[in-house]
Amino acid sequence: MDAFDPLPPPWTKTATHALEFCCPSCRAEAATAQRVWINRRAPVIRETSRRRQWQEFYQCECGQVWWAWSSDRPPSELTKRDNLFPEDLE
Ligand SMILES: [Zn+2]
């Protein structure tokens, strides 16, 4: 699996938008997800912060597929996964 694959993997098609940065079914953290895919091809500039954000897709252990904006990822999570998800990849 490549989280930065340019093409969306088939499993992302059924994703639900999670309003909080965790699984909407069982509330498991993103860190426990079985699969991850980052939609790097379509960053969005957020008006308020002028920072880029993108969709992050996760497949939870419970089977739920969900996505959330990268900007909604909690800071603690960001620190832990900094190497995996560099905030500003040029
Ligand atoms: Zn879950």
Ligand 1 center from residue 17 Cα (angstroms) = 13
Q: What percent of the chain has pLDDT over 70?
A: 81
Ligand 1 center from residue 68 Cα (angstroms) = 14
Ligand 1 center from residue 24 Cα (angstroms) = 7
Ligand 1 center from residue 30 Cα (angstroms) = 9
* Of 22 and 45, the one with more pLDDT: 22
CA distances to 48, 56, 72 from 33, in Å: 29, 11, 16
- Residue 64 C-beta-side C-alpha neighbours within 13 Å: 16
Q: Quote the DSSP letter at residue 29.
A: B
The pLDDT of residue 90 is: 42
- Is 78 a residue whose pLDDT tops 70? no
The pLDDT of residue 4 is: 82
SS3 63: coil
Mean pLDDT of the chain: 83
CA distances to 1, 22, 85 from 35, in Å: 8, 14, 14
Count CB-CB contacts under 10 A for residue 22: 21
